Amino acid sequence: MATPLVAVEHRTEPQDERTALTKEAFQRDFFNNLFYILGKFPTLATKNDYYQALAFVVRDRMLQRWISTAAAYTKQGSRTVAYFSAEFLMGPHLGNNLVNLGIHDEVRKAVTELGLDFNELLLEEDEPGLGNGGLGRLAACFIESLATLQIPSLGYGIRYEFGIFHQEIVDGWQTERTDKWLRFGNPWEIPRPEWAVHVKLGGYTEPYRDEFYRHRVRWVPDRLVAAVPYDTPILGYHTNTANTLRLWKAEAPESFDFAVFNRGDYYGAVMQKVSSENLSKVLYPNDEQLQGKELRLSQQYFFVSASLQDMFRILKIQKIPVERFHEKFAAQLNDTHPAIAVAELMRLLIDENVVPWEQAWDITRRTFAYTNHTLLPEALECWPLPLFAKLLPRHLEIIFEINARFLDEVRIRFYGDEERIARMSLIDERGERYVRMAHLACVGSHAINGVAELHSELLKQDVLRDFYELWPTRFGNKTNGVTPRRWMALSNPRLTKLVSSHIGDEWITDLSQLRRLEPLAEDAGFRQQWLDVKRACKCDFAAVALKKTGITIDPDSLFDVQVKRIHEYKRQHLNILHVVALYHRLRSNPNVDITPRTFIFGGKAAPGYHIAKLIIKLITSVGDVVNRDPAVRDRLKVVFLPNFNVKNGQRIYPAADLSEQVSTAGKEASGTGNMKFSMNGALTIGTMDGANIEIREEVGAENFFLFGLTTPEVGALKASGYNPANYLDGELKEVVELIRSGFFSRGDAELFRPLIDGLVHHDPYLVFADFDSYSKAQQQVSAAYQDRDHWARMSILNSARSGKFSSDRTIREYCDDIWKAPAVPIRLLTQEDVKVGVMQ
């Protein structure tokens, strides 16, 4: 018998031929899969075939865990977290599953021995980009941590056929291509058509008396859509737990609508099928114009209704009465996108399970908790009432009733305060009428949280102040975190090895242990190893940058990185103005001593967000000039890396020296990229915003480059009548004039006018007001980077003190304070167990 390659504790499970963890077994199964699943042999096999053959090797090894987990939860009727999110930005599965199974290195060896390039196979995976940015990625980190912490949980969302668009840069401009991630099939998912449910839409409601003469309401929809679940196993790190991500695909209820077909309207019938399938067709990019989009509200309702119906199905299997829904499930609303769940659960309880209103309301409130992710008022979801009434007539009635009862409570608490009633109402009646989804989420939840200390405070003082005054104890903070499995162990194997060789590997599941690196910051040998790792990661990234952009960058220059969605509040334009300032200094005095820097940008702009797209064009245009100007002598480089996504992120964070977190104070709810950078040893230049504040608190003010106005200062400046033109002097003026003159646009003085005029005349995010302070902080960065030894110390301390920002910590807090969901360890079942029916 072949011996297992490594003996890891969590692998004491019984093994059969499809789960054996030996190199020989991996190789044998790899070819079996190529023949029997993909129907190929090596001469004809593509790289993608090989990737899939490998993916199925790994999937086989996950299924035993998945089945054992499902069996244990079913048998024990475990309390379950249901994470409702319109986005799950998972990133590639293969590498992560290998790491979490503990077979990454062995499989790499097995594949390499077969003469294949392991890294190339990993890159073959089309990542499921089912999210826009931070919010979707947070959901992905959370479900991974839930599995690692062995908490029973289900992620519920939408299986978009087209995820976030693929960004290309053509002539310096962003262009969008559709993301066909399912083109070659998806080995990680299993469809479960047997658990499909119907979702109703449109139509009207009518009252009736049932057979017991009870007053009931019937919803007669004008459309039915079938929701088919596609399940993906989510493995915990070195545990037996494999939870489920359940994403819904929309289909026509039957392949043809026979009623229409019989009338001879064959095309009509087919069109109806097409229109049903539209519901899960495409992820909306975070555009400002989402508000009126009927399809978007339909998507939200579609996945929420399917998920809640699924939860009722689970209750039934486990023989738990519907009155105990909230004991079985803790449901988290990831922003307001799933907030319609409040009305839908009420409908399912009242209309379909005949639970009395008061009891149904009690169950609903005890079930839901709501996380807010934004302070931007324009991003708070509101749906026009007529649209809502047309699509969800029954829900609107329920919302009116919830509102009437809620406002009665407010009236009694705040006697005579009619303005407050208008402000708090679930319906905005100041002009055209809207349903306020954030209010629905607050009223229907027992817990409400922000995603960083400052954000949670601002929610209480500002955005949700009235609700805080009514229910102060419902409010809390849960500072975001990211999973160290993907963002360190998988993406930075060199650093992982170095760290583990000094402090062991428990830090991977207990990130606070990174603190044990602190004394090593004083060890010259360790500092050198640390710098060597960073340099190797920078070389790797330089190769990627060359391949993707044709630009050669120097791994010994300071890698200054800003990667995130492009948005004015995130202020990529502040960064590029500083680049222009440096360039201007160099041109004005060619012998000036500057620290060589490579500015790396990445991020997508919403397709309809013109100013964001113009910011990209400005970055690429400045790059075009700076990168080829001989006077610069390669001391400055500007790279815009196209199509920033999870896969690219995994290569960028390990290579960064400096992390740009420069949002206007009070605008970025938390940020999570800031955490990924710091863990990987980058220093931050940042404002007092979101989680930056907590990062600075942890790593120490001396290891962080702070600049800019604070939130109260921003407020005061705006209140006093901010005039950006007052800041337009000195270097900033010269920078603005240079751009305005057409220097970066081949003499076209019009191209950047909307951006520059917007800054000079309005500057809503205070770019000009913060420019000077930013520029000074950047000078400190340059000086600090010259002292390599000191920089290494600061870099080590950033990583050593990043323990707080593990999503394991965040999830523990949610579990303790909100979900009250204990861990359920899983014993692995053998196939024999399954046969003899241990599962019953």
| DSSP tag of 279 | G
What's the distance, CA 224 to chain centroid? 30
Determine the Cα–Cα distance for residues 517 and 527; give it in Å rounded to an integer: 11
Tokens found for residue 374? 């934004």
Distance of CA 281 to the CA centre of its chain: 19
Q: From CA 409, how far away is CA 415, in angstroms rounded?
A: 10
**Smallest gap from residue 351 Cβ to ligand F58 (A):** 29
Active-site residue, from 137, 159, 249, 373: 373
Classified as helix, coil or strand, 525 is helix
CA nearest 243: which of 148, 324, 356, 353? 148
Supply the minimum distance, in Å, between the C-beta of residue 376 and ligand F58: 8
HSE value, Cβ hemisphere, 13 Å, CA-based, for 138: 30
- DSSP H/E element including 640: strand 636-640
Q: Is 570 a catalytic residue?
A: yes
Residue 597's contacts (CB-CB under 8 Å, 6 or more residues apart) are: 557, 558, 559, 560, 582, 635, 636, 637, 782
- Active-site residue identified among 137, 485, 676, 809: 676
Most distant CA pair in the chain, distance: 92
**Residue 676 bears catalytic tag:** yes
**Active-site residue 672, yes or no?**
yes
CB of 374 to ligand F58, least distance (A): 6
CB closest to ligand F58, residue no: 134
CB 672 within 8 A of CB 455: no
Residue type at position 257 = D
Q: How far is the CB of 442 from ligand F58 (least distance, A)?
A: 17
Q: Which is nearer to ligand F58, 270 or 379 (CB)?
A: 379
Least CB distance to ligand F58 at residue 480 (A): 5
180 is catalytic: no
CB 671, min distance to ligand F58, A: 5
Report the SS3 class of residue 370: strand
Assigned token pair, 413: 């608490």
Q: How far is the CB of 284 from ligand F58 (least distance, A)?
A: 7
CB of 49 to ligand F58, least distance (A): 34
Token reading at 186: 């998806």
Q: How far apart are CA 350 and CA 359, in angstroms?
A: 9
Q: Using CA atoms, how far apart are residues 227 and 199, in angstroms rounded to an integer?
A: 7
Strand-strand pairing, 558-563 and 705-706: unpaired
Question: What is the identity of the amino acid at 761?
Answer: H
Among residues 128 and 133, whose Cβ is nearest to ligand F58? Answer: 133
Query: Distance between CA atoms of 691 and 479, rounded to whole angstroms?
Result: 7
Q: What whole-number distance in Å separates Cα of residue 212 and Cα of residue 40?
A: 63
C-beta separation of 700 from 678 below 8 A: no
Binding site for ligand F58 (CB under 6 A): 132-135, 138, 286, 373-374, 379, 451, 480, 668-672, 690
Minimal distance, residue 569 CB to ligand F58, in Å = 9
Neighbouring-strand partners of residue 558:
597
**What tokens were used for 286?**
């975070």
Tell me which amino acid residue 629 is.
Answer: D
Distance in angstroms (rounded) separating the CA atoms of residues 468 and 477: 13
**Beta carbons of 670 and 455 less than 8 angstroms apart:** yes
How far apart CA 712 and CA 692 sit, in angstroms, is 16
Between CA 353 and CA 323 the distance in angstroms is 9
Which lies closer to ligand F58 via its Cβ, residue 346 or residue 662? 662
Q: Is 112 a catalytic residue?
A: no
Alpha-carbon radius of gyration of the chain: 28
Distance (Å, rounded) from C-alpha 316 to C-alpha 312? 6
| Minimum distance of ligand F58 from residue 673's CB (angstroms) | 8
Eight-class DSSP state of 806? B
Which three-class secondary structure state does DSSP give residue 473? helix
- Cβ-based nearer residue to ligand F58, 70 or 451: 451
User: DSSP letters along 143-161, please?
Assistant: HHHHHHTT--EEEEEE--S
User: Does residue 613 carry a catalytic annotation?
Assistant: no
Alpha carbon distance 490, 42 (integer Å): 28
DSSP assignment string, 681-698: T-EEEE-S-TTHHHHHHH
Nearer to ligand F58 among residue 186 and residue 336 (C-beta): 336
Listed residue (840, 838, 751) closest to 171, CA to CA: 751
Q: Is 394 helix (H, G, I), strand (E, B) or coil?
A: helix
Give min distance, CB of 812 to ligand F58, in A: 17
How near is the Cβ of 459 to ligand F58 at its closest, in Å?
12
Catalytically active residues are 373, 564-565, 570, 672, 676
